[in-house]
Amino acid sequence: MNSRADRGGYAAWWWTIDRVALVLMLMLITVGLMLAFAASPASTGGPLTAGDFRYAVKQIIFAIIAAGILGGASLLSLRQIKIAAALIFAIALIGSFLVLLVGNEIYGAKRSIELGLFSLQPSEFLKPGFAVLAAAIIADRDAMPLPKPVITFLLIAPALVILPLQPDVGQTTLLLALWAALLFFSGQPLKHGRV
């Protein structure tokens, strides 16, 4: 057991994280792995051949990477998280543009870049980067030259131009829905005005 009086590294981390959210995320990862184990043999096998667990192994690797990112992000300060979100969003935006030039075309759409062992879809990183960055802007108590909804919309405007060109209507819709949800849950007024 850790005491709140303990100021060591692990204790400070334990008392500052959202433990409910951590448990729910770990449960979600566990359920995903269980479903991957259940579906993998059926996906890889045939009517007369037994399947294997290659998709489940792939999901375990992704889960380990995700857990590492989750743990690493929980150790960052608020300022470091904002900087990381800005970098991730900027790199994902550049990557999404590069997909138009050098991406793999599948069924008439260019959405990913081939990197040897795996392909990377940069637009997937737009959502978490934008979510943290926009939340930081909305939560900032300082006055801003433009209303916060306008600033956050201008932030995703380049992505809303690039993604339909791939075309990726799903990611475009998700980004707009994320923007609307951030404004709604932050209590932004529906009528136009300075916030």
Q: What is the per-residue pLDDT for 195?
A: 47
The pTM assigned to this predicted structure is 0.76
For 112-142, how does the pLDDT look when each residue is reduced to its tens digit (9 = 90+)? Answer: 888 777 778 888 899 999 999 999 999 888 8
For 77-108, how does the pLDDT look when each residue is reduced to its tens digit (9 = 90+)? Answer: 889 999 999 999 999 999 999 988 887 778 77
**pLDDT surpasses 80 at 150:** yes
Q: What is the per-residue pLDDT for 8?
A: 65
For 53-72, how does the pLDDT look when each residue is reduced to its tens digit (9 = 90+)? Answer: 888 888 899 899 988 988 88
Rg, the chain, Cα only: 20
Output 97 or 11, whichever has higher pLDDT.
97
Q: What is the per-residue pLDDT for 108?
A: 78
The ranges assigned to domains in the chain are: 1-75, 77-195
4 falls in which pLDDT band (50, 70, 90)? low
Output 6 or 85, whichever has higher pLDDT.
85
Q: What is the per-residue pLDDT for 3?
A: 57
**pLDDT surpasses 70 at 47:** no
Q: What is the per-residue pLDDT for 176?
A: 93
> How confident is the prediction for the chain on average, in pLDDT?
84
Q: What is the per-residue pLDDT for 54?
A: 83
Q: What is the per-residue pLDDT for 7?
A: 60
**pLDDT surpasses 80 at 20:** yes
For 181-194, how does the pLDDT look when each residue is reduced to its tens digit (9 = 90+)? Answer: 999 988 876 665 44
Q: What angle do CA 98, 99, 101 make, to 5 degrees?
A: 65
